[in-house]
C-alpha cells in the first residue's frame, strides 16, 4: 500500500463509481470505496461500509490518506426526490459538508463533487458554467446547495474542491427507473408480447445524454488540473424524450406507434437542457468517445437488462 496512490470514492456501487474505480485502478491507484450497504475487498479495491458522518469520514481519511476524493453519493432521481424531499436534501448536503469539513485539515487532498445539470434554470438558451442556477425540484435544490458550498469552501479555506456539473449519463449498470434503461426494458416487454405499449410521462423534455464511462474520464481529468475549476461534463448534443424513444425503438425494431405518452404535470420539469462542452475541452482536452447510438446499443445488448 505504501507505493500506491490512494483515491476515495463515495457512492462506489453506482454506475459512476464502477466506471471510475476501474479507471483509477488502471492508472495504478488503490481505490477505497464508500457505501451505506456493502463491504468488500480485492487487490486494488476495498469497499467500506459507512454512514458518511464527519467522524466516520475523518477516521477513513486519516487511515488511508487519499490524494483524491470523489463524492458521487446521492439519490440521483429528480422525480423520486419529490417523494422524499427532506431525506434527499439532507443526505446530499450533509455528506458534502462532512467531506468539506475534513478537507479543512487535509488541504493536500483534491476533492471532486458530482454536481448536476438540474441546478440550472430552465431556459431555451444553451447553458454554460456561468448560467443562472435556479433548480425546480428537491434533488436540484439539494445539489445546488452542495455546489455553492463546495465553491464557498474552496475560496474561504483555499482547498482544491471542484464541481463537475454532470448532464444525463447512462450505462448498462444504470438502474431501471432511469429513462433510457426504462424504455429498453419496456420495449423488450413489447417484443415479448408482455405489454401492449411503452408508457412514458412526457415527450417534451430535451436532454443531453452521454456514457458514464466517458464522464468519469472527464472527472479524473478535472481533478488532475493544477488549479480547481468547476466544469460542465456533457456531450454537447441534446435530444427530446420523443426522439430518444423513437431512436431506441427503431434500434430495437419495435414500432414507434407502441409508445404512449401520459402527461403528468404533478412534477415540474425543465423542458430544455442544452449545453456546450467547449470549456472542458479547451481546458482538459476531454471529449466524449461513445455516441448516443453506441450507448443505446451497449445497453440493449447488455446481459444486465
Distance between CA atoms of residues 131 and 129, nearest Å: 6
Is 116 noted as a catalytic residue in this protein? Answer: yes
Q: What residue has cell string 443562472?
A: 132
Distance separating alpha carbons of residues 300 and 40, to the nearest angstrom? 29
Burial class of residue 195, CB neighbours in 10 A (0-12, 13-18, 19+)? middle
Distance CA 170, CA 181 (A): 8
139-165-95 Cα angle (round to 5): 50
State the angle between helix axes of 15-26 and 212-223 in degrees (0 to 180), rounded to the nearest 10.
60
Interacting residues of 230 by C-beta distance below 8 A, sequence separation 6+: 115, 129, 147, 150, 151, 162, 163, 164, 165
139 a catalytic residue: yes
In Å, how far from its chain's centre is CA 233?
Answer: 10
CA atoms within 13 A on the CB side of 81: 22
Catalytic hit among 139, 153, 217, 249: 139
Q: State the catalytic residue, choosing from 118, 173, 186, 275.
A: 118
Q: Kindly name the residue from 116, 235, 275, 284 that is annotated as catalytic.
A: 116
List strand residue ranges (DSSP E) for 138-285, in order: 160-166, 169-170, 198-200, 206-208, 210-211, 231-233, 238-240, 259-261
Per-residue b/e over 110-132, b at no fewer than 16 CB within 10 Å? Answer: bbbbbbbbbbbebeeeebeeebe
- Tell me the catalytic residues: 116, 118, 139
Amino acid at each position: 500500500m505504501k507505493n500506491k496512490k490512494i483515491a476515495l470514492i463515495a457512492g462506489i456501487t453506482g454506475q459512476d463509481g464502477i466506471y471510475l474505480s476501474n479507471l483509477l485502478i488502471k492508472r495504478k491507484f488503490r481505490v477505497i470505496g464508500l457505501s451505506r450497504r456493502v463491504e468488500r475487498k480485492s487487490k486494488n479495491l476495498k469497499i467500506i461500509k459507512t454512514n458518511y458522518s464527519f467522524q466516520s469520514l475523518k477516521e477513513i481519511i486519516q487511515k488511508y490518506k487519499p490524494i483524491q476524493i470523489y463524492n458521487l453519493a446521492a439519490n440521483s432521481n429528480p422525480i423520486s426526490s419529490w417523494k422524499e424531499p427532506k431525506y434527499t436534501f439532507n443526505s446530499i448536503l450533509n455528506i458534502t459538508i462532512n467531506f468539506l469539513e475534513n478537507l479543512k485539515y487535509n488541504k493536500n487532498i483534491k476533492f471532486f463533487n458530482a454536481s448536476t445539470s438540474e441546478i440550472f434554470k430552465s431556459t431555451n438558451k444553451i447553458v454554460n458554467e456561468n448560467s443562472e442556477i435556479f433548480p425546480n425540484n428537491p434533488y436540484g435544490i439539494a445539489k445546488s446547495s452542495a455546489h455553492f458550498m463546495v465553491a464557498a469552501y474552496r475560496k474561504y479555506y483555499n482547498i482544491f474542491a471542484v464541481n463537475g456539473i454532470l448532464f444525463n449519463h447512462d450505462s448498462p449498470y444504470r438502474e431501471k427507473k432511469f429513462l433510457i434503461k426504462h424504455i429498453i426494458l419496456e420495449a423488450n416487454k413489447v417484443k415479448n408480447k408482455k405489454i401492449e405499449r411503452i408508457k412514458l410521462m412526457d415527450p417534451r423534455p430535451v436532454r443531453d445524454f452521454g456514457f458514464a464511462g466517458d464522464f468519469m474520464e472527464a472527472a479524473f481529468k478535472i481533478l488532475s488540473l493544477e488549479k480547481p475549476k468547476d466544469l460542465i461534463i456533457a456531450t454537447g448534443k441534446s435530444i427530446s424524450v420523443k426522439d430518444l424513444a423513437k431512436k431506441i425503438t427503431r434500434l430495437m425494431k419495435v414500432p414507434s406507434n407502441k409508445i404512449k405518452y401520459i402527461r403528468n404535470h404533478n412534477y415540474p420539469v425543465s423542458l430544455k437542457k442544452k449545453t456546450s462542452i467547449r470549456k472542458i475541452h479547451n481546458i482538459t482536452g476531454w471529449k466524449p468517445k461513445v455516441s448516443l447510438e453506441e450507448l443505446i446499443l451497449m445497453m440493449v445488448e447488455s446481459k444486465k437488462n
